């Protein structure tokens, strides 16, 4: 019921139209009984009544009026059906349009933890299949229910006006039908919830396979991927069949009950007719409207199936709708300040779920300083920098930017003061120019080229067939790892923010190019605090200070010279990188 309330709330702006559609459904369906009534009049007056022959001669006008009435009401019903469908379609489409926008914004507003937890395929299923199922239900399933109910009630009321006893005979089968339908609904509901889950798994597998296709090919794992997909496909198909086939367990009972309506009409109706309790016309009216009572019973299974699918989909959408991010971006910055770029970590502790990743981390970075962060893989470097733009919240201690806890700062403003190039480079399928200007759409072509130059990307870009207008494929396909890194660096530089964070951005470029980038970073024309995660001593040596992380703790801190003098982790890395790895490699490649 909560979900229906939610749906009603979201119908705002289209409620009047939807109510009109429901009313038209009721009116149009009620008119179903008009033609049987008119035909009853025709039969009793002109065909089977005592004075049928005489009436035919004297009351021609009435006969013509009744016939025209039948044609007129048929046309009226058709017109109403057209109008009704249009209202359902427009209101449900409008509602879905609004919900889709809201959900998209909602997903955009989620924090990083949400993306860690939710699979892309599942989110895509919610945004497409589930939304469409709900729309289909609003436009068709509810319509079918309302119309079936109205026709059923109108027919029963009409029957009651003709003969109460015969009507009660006709309805004798309704209670057992409802009991069977109730049992069916209870049994099939969990199946549709499970089915929805399997569809999501199937979509996730498909999405992962498509986006990871290069890895699949590199490892020649097509067979494995096909087997994985087939397994999910079989699971989905089996669950689908299982849910659909449950209906067959109940179908014979419901169909027999529905057929029995005709038998009862023949027996009870025939008996009443022979004893003169009802007229031929009334019998004809019962006969022509018997479908109005039996069809809803017959369709009850299909409706229940659709309703279960509808609720399974609706609850998934409501999940997104009410998902509350722990880190909320209010987007209410009126005037964005430019920060100085002072960063402080005060006894910072951080964990993913229960695993502690950073522990008691304290350091300060002054505005304009260049800090290098080094440490073994998994030591927590990326986690550390993710706390500055508040992608995650600390579990203890504080992260301060310009002296203020990041949790007190307006997120748009905070993130608007940070330029970032992440370890996992993602370029959009756009031109190179468009990718560089992603963070600043106002960037001129010359500026984009200048920043590409600083990132050592200009030379290779101009050699491409369409230069800066070259469209790079999805995720930057068509570029080498180092080229992608350089475009990502140009994108981060182009926003000219007072804090620049580079996560292993030069790991895939050669030493000469790296040297060019280092020089550019030193000579940036705007004031900027730089935090650079790097594994190469050639990069870290240029920093004002170097922080060494191990197991989430700060084990060394100082300048290149200070750390070398310490003869600790940094010194070992320096030796390893500068003097080989302690093994002698001969000219022939033998140790």
Shortest approach of ligand ATP to residue 508 CB, angstroms?
14
Q: Considering the rule CB under 6 A, would residue 377 count as an interface residue with ligand ATP?
A: yes
Shortest approach of ligand ATP to residue 550 CB, angstroms?
10
- Judged by CB under 6 A, which of 262, 299, 382, 422 binds ligand ATP? 382
- Judged by CB under 6 A, which of 92, 209, 383, 542 binds ligand ATP? 383
Residue among 112 and 221 whose Cβ is closer to ligand ATP: 112
Q: Considering the rule CB under 6 A, would residue 481 count as an interface residue with ligand ATP?
A: no
Q: Map residue 548 onto helix, strand or coil.
A: strand
Cα angle 289, 293, 296; round to 5: 125
- Judged by CB under 6 A, which of 352, 426, 462, 522 binds ligand ATP? 352
- Judged by CB under 6 A, which of 28, 301, 341, 375 binds ligand ATP? 375
Q: Considering the rule CB under 6 A, would residue 378 count as an interface residue with ligand ATP?
A: yes
Residue among 295 and 423 whose Cβ is closer to ligand ATP: 423
Which helix (H) or strand (E) element contains residue 260? helix 222-264
Q: Considering the rule CB under 6 A, would residue 381 count as an interface residue with ligand ATP?
A: yes
Binding residues with ligand ATP: total (CB under 6 A): 12
- What is the DSSP-derived secondary structure letter of residue 469? G
Helix, strand, coil content of the chain in percent (nearest 5): 65, 10, 25
> Tokens representing 53?
């022959």
Phi/psi of residue 348, each to 5°? -75, 130
CA distance 176 to 254: 9
Residue among 379 and 485 whose Cβ is closer to ligand ATP: 379
- Cβ atoms of residues 127 and 341 within 8 Å: no
- From first CA to last CA, the distance across the chain in angstroms is 74
Shortest approach of ligand ATP to residue 524 CB, angstroms?
24
Contact pattern from residue 415 through residue 454 relative to ligand ATP, giving x for each residue in contact according to CB under 6 A and a dash for the rest: --------x-------------------------------
- Judged by CB under 6 A, which of 379, 449, 485, 506 binds ligand ATP? 379
Q: Tokens 């609850």: give the residue.
A: 315
The residue range among 15-23, 273-281, 289-297, 374-382 that interacts with ligand ATP, by the rule CB under 6 A, is 374-382
List strands edge to edge, sheet with 396-401. Answer: 355-365, 343-352, 396-401, 404-405
The residue range among 54-62, 205-213, 294-302, 379-387 that interacts with ligand ATP, by the rule CB under 6 A, is 379-387
CA distance 520 to 542: 12
The residue range among 136-144, 156-164, 231-239, 373-381 that interacts with ligand ATP, by the rule CB under 6 A, is 373-381
- Judged by CB under 6 A, which of 357, 374, 400, 414 binds ligand ATP? 357
CA distance 265 to 287: 7
Rg of the chain over all Cα atoms, to the nearest angstrom: 36
The residue range among 79-87, 126-134, 156-164, 381-389 that interacts with ligand ATP, by the rule CB under 6 A, is 381-389
Q: Considering the rule CB under 6 A, would residue 270 count as an interface residue with ligand ATP?
A: no
Q: Which residues pair with 398 in a beta bridge?
A: 346
> Tokens representing 538?
């050639």
Q: Considering the rule CB under 6 A, would residue 389 count as an interface residue with ligand ATP?
A: no
The residue range among 124-132, 372-380, 408-416, 453-461 that interacts with ligand ATP, by the rule CB under 6 A, is 372-380
Phi/psi of residue 418, each to 5°? -125, 130
CA distance 294 to 171: 10
Shortest approach of ligand ATP to residue 573 CB, angstroms?
13
Residue among 378 and 580 whose Cβ is closer to ligand ATP: 378
Q: Considering the rule CB under 6 A, would residue 116 count as an interface residue with ligand ATP?
A: yes
The DSSP-derived string for 384-436 is HHHTTTTSS--SEEEEEETTEEGGGS-HHHHHTTEEEE-SS----SSBHHHHH
Residue among 93 and 382 whose Cβ is closer to ligand ATP: 382
Angle 174-211/280-322 helices, nearest 10 degrees?
40
Shortest approach of ligand ATP to residue 488 CB, angstroms?
15
Using CB under 6 A as the criterion, which residues of the chain lie in contact with ligand ATP when the complex forms? 116, 352, 357, 375, 377-383, 423
């Amino acid at each position: 019921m909560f979900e229906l309330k939610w749906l009603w709330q979201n119908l705002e702006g289209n409620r009047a139209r939807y109510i009109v559609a429901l009313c038209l459904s009721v009116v149009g369906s009620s008119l179903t009984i008009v033609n049987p009534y008119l035909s009853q009049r025709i039969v009793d007056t002109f065909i089977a009544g005592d004075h049928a022959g005489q009436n035919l001669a004297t009351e021609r006008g009435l006969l013509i009026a009744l016939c025209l009435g039948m044609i007129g009401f048929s046309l009226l019903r058709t017109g109403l059906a057209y109008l009704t469908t249009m209202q359902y379609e427009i209101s449900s489409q409008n509602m879905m349009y609004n919900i889709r926008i809201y959900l998209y914004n909602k997903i955009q507003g989620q924090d990083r933890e949400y993306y860690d937890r939710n699979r892309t395929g599942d989110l895509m299923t919610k945004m497409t299949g589930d939304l469409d199922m709900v729309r289909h239900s609003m436009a068709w399933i509810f319509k079918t229910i309302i119309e079936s109910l109205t026709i059923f009630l109108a027919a029963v009321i009409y029957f009651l006006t003709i003969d109460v006893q015969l009507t009660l005979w006709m309805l004798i089968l309704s209670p057992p039908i409802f009991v069977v339908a109730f049992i069916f609904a209870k049994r099939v509901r969990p199946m549709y919830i499970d089915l929805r889950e399997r569809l999501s798994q199937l979509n996730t597998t498909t999405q992962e396979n498509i986006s990871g296709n290069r890895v699949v090919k590199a490892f020649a794992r097509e067979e494995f991927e096909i087997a994985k997909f087939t397994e999910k496909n079989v699971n989905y198909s089996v669950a689908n069949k299982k849910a659909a086939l449950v209906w067959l367990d109940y179908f014979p009972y419901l169909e027999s009950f529905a057929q029995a309506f005709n038998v009862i009409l023949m027996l009870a109706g025939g008996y009443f007719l022979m004893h003169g309790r009802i007229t031929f016309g009334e019998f004809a009216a019962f006969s022509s409207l018997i479908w109005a009572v039996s069809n809803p019973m017959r369709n009850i299974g299909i409706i229940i199936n659709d309703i279960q699918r509808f609720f399974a989909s609706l609850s998934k959408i409501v999940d997104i709708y009410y998902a509350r991010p722990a880190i909320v971006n209010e987007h209410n910055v009126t005037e964005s300040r430019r920060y100085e770029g002072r960063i402080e970590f005060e006894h910072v502790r951080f964990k993913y779920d229960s695993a502690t990743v950073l522990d008691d981390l304290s350091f300060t970075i002054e505005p304009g300083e260049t800090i290098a962060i080094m440490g073994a893989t998994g030591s927590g470097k990326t986690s550390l920098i993710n706390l500055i733009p508040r992608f995650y919240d600390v579990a203890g201690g504080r992260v301060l930017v310009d002296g203020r806890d990041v949790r007190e700062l307006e997120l748009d403003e905070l993130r608007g003061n940070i330029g970032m190039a992440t370890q996992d480079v993602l370029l959009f399928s756009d031109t190179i120019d468009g990718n560089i200007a992603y963070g600043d759409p106002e960037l001129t072509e010359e500026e984009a080229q200048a920043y590409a130059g600083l990132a050592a990307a200009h030379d290779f870009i101009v050699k491409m067939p369409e230069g800066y207008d070259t469209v790079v494929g999805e995720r930057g396909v068509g570029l080498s790892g180092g080229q992608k890194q350089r475009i990502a660096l140009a994108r981060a530089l182009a926003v000219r923010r007072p804090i620049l964070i580079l996560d292993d951005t030069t790991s895939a470029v050669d030493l000469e190019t790296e040297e060019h980038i280092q020089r550019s970073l030193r000579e940036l024309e705007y004031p900027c605090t730089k935090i650079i995660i790097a594994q190469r001593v050639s990069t870290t040596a240029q920093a004002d200070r170097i922080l060494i992380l191990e197991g989430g703790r700060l084990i060394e801190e100082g300048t290149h010279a200070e750390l070398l003098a310490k003869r600790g982790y940094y010194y070992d890395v320096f030796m390893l990188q500068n003097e080989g790895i302690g093994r002698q490699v001969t000219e022939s490649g033998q140790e």
